[in-house]
């Protein structure tokens, strides 16, 4: 656990740590992550409807293959992003992530078969794994241990407000101009801008992590620096109580998100809602999620991670229960907001919890292992919710995931240590 009394001053060890000391670069990375989120948001409203209306996919398991492909590729790249950023530096990995996204809008616009859409989501997953993971790591590098929750709140707020704004915008673009190509032109603009900013303005932050590692000398032997990549993976996934509890909660959280992404627009369309209303619902969930993280991330610095995560999982379970039983726009809108608020309690707090426990020398690899499990939840969610929806209908699938989410919160309450956060 980081020493809360460590000075954030420059010295022979390297650059200064802290939000104020690195504010310009930090806010630039916040803007970059908003563009990363927008690149994902181009699909949230449109792609589930494209599957049913243009490609005529009748089975939910078939229609959700793009989320399965996205989840698997993103999870894998999350894991390698940490290792690659330790070996080659953060900025080259961030640039590589943007380059991987360049073909995606064109494939979504011109793809003649569903296989093209799935292939585009493999590339999108690779891009998101590299860009979003690296943005997280770079912000952790810059701020040091004292304001990690605040940093993750800003990072995730920017990303998911980008998702929300783009989901809303693409809903209206689809209403006015059709499902293709207009909504995906917005994603192309985001990719061009994000790549340009990264190449021209983002600076390398790896030296900041090395500075913090030097300052860690003499702290707990549990956080020693000399771990192999396989040891870091095992510790994060299974052995350390707090790290493993965070990893399973992250997986279940994104299982929920995969469900919401793939099936909610189909559920709402089946109830007779128009594209504009579906766009509002698709945006309300990540908007509440994104905005509330500006508060929850910083609050977890002061009051701890464990109970924020537990409460957030339980709130999500309630919201999913409401979604499963509702039949009209009003209750679904309320449930989307509650689901977003529950996710906001969890999302930045889980990342901050990983950063609290992991030593700076292997923190990037631990973040990568956690994000492998977390974004593997997309793939698990696509399979589980698709199979359940095909067998029993969408409301039953949503209800089953609600129960699973509540159980995940109970695991955090039982397994996670309560004193691993670094108070501000």
Does residue 15 surpass a pLDDT of 90?
no
Residue 7 domain-assigned? no
Q: Please give the average per-residue pLDDT across 233-241, as a whole number.
A: 94
Number of domains within the chain: 1
User: Please, what's the b/e burial string for 253-281 (b: 16 or more CB within 10 A of its CB; e: otherwise)?
Assistant: bbbbbbbbbbbbbbbbbeeebebebbbbb
Residue 6 domain-assigned? no
Give the pLDDT band of residue 329 (cuts 50, 70, 90). very high
Does residue 9 surpass a pLDDT of 70?
no
Residue 380 domain-assigned? yes
Does residue 82 surpass a pLDDT of 90?
no
pLDDT cut 70: percent of the chain above it: 93
3-state SS class at 173: helix
- What pLDDT is attached to residue 420? 58
Q: What pLDDT, in 10s, does the model give residues 399-417?
A: 999 999 999 999 999 999 8
Tell me phi and psi for residue 11, to 5 degrees. Answer: -170, -165
Residue 420 domain-assigned? no
Residue 97 domain-assigned? yes
Q: What pLDDT, in 10s, does the model give residues 269-325?
A: 999 998 889 989 988 998 898 889 889 988 988 888 999 999 999 999 999 999 999
- What pLDDT is attached to residue 14? 67
DSSP codes, 52-85? HHTS---SHHHHTHHHHHHHHHHHHHHHHHHHHH
The neighbour count for residue 105, using CB atoms within 10 Å, is 24
Q: Which structural domain, as residue segments, surrounds residue 367?
A: 20-212+222-415
Sign of the torsion angle spanned by Cα atoms 399, 160, 186, 125: negative
Residue 402 domain-assigned? yes
CATH code for the domain in which residue 383 is found: 1.20.1250.20
- What pLDDT is attached to residue 92? 96
Residue 90 domain-assigned? yes
**45 closest CA partner among 253, 255, 268:** 268
Residue 86 domain-assigned? yes
- What pLDDT is attached to residue 122? 96
Does residue 225 surpass a pLDDT of 70?
no
The neighbour count for residue 118, using CB atoms within 10 Å, is 17
């Amino acid at each position: 656990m980081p020493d809360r009394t460590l000075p954030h001053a420059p010295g022979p060890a390297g650059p200064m740590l802290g939000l104020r000391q690195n504010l310009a670069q930090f806010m630039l990375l916040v803007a970059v992550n908003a563009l990363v989120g927008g690149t994902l948001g181009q699909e949230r409203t449109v792609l589930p409807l494209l599957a049913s209306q243009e490609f005529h996919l009748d089975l939910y398991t078939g229609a959700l293959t793009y989320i399965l492909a996205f989840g698997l590729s993103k999870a894998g790249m999350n894991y390698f992003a940490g290792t690659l950023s330790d070996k080659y530096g953060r900025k080259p990995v961030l640039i590589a992530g943007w380059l991987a996204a360049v073909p995606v809008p064109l494939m979504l616009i011109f793809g003649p078969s569903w296989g093209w859409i799935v292939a585009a989501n493999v590339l999108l997953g690779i891009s998101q794994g590299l860009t979003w993971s690296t943005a997280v790591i770079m912000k952790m590098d810059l701020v040091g241990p004292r304001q990690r929750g605040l940093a993750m709140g800003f990072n995730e707020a920017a990303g998911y407000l980008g998702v929300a704004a783009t989901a809303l915008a693409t809903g209206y673009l689809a209403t006015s101009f059709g499902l293709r190509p207009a909504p995906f032109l917005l994603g192309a603009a985001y990719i061009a801008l994000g790549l340009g900013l990264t190449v021209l303005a983002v600076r390398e932050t790896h030296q900041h992590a090395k500075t913090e590692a030097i300052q860690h000398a003499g702290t707990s032997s549990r956080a020693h620096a000399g771990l192999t990549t396989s040891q870091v993976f095992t510790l994060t996934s299974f052995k350390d109580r707090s790290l493993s509890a965070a990893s399973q909660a992250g997986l279940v959280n994104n299982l929920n998100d995969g469900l919401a992404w793939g099936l909610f627009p189909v559920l709402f369309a089946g109830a007779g809602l128009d594209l504009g209303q579906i766009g509002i619902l698709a945006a309300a969930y990540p908007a509440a999620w994104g905005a509330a993280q500006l508060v929850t991330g910083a609050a977890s610095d002061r009051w701890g991670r464990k109970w924020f995560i537990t409460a957030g999982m339980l709130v999500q379970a309630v919201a999913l229960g409401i979604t499963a039983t509702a039949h009209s726009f009003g209750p679904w809108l309320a449930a989307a907001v509650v689901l977003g608020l529950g996710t906001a309690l969890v999302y930045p707090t889980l990342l901050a919890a990983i950063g609290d426990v992991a030593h700076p020398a292997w923190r990037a690899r631990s973040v990568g292992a956690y994000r492998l499990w977390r974004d593997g939840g997309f793939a698990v969610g696509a399979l589980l919710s698709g199979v359940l929806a095909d067998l029993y209908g969408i409301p039953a699938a949503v209800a089953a995931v609600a129960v699973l989410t509540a159980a995940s919160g109970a695991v955090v309450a039982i397994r996670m240590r309560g004193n691993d956060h670094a108070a501000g």
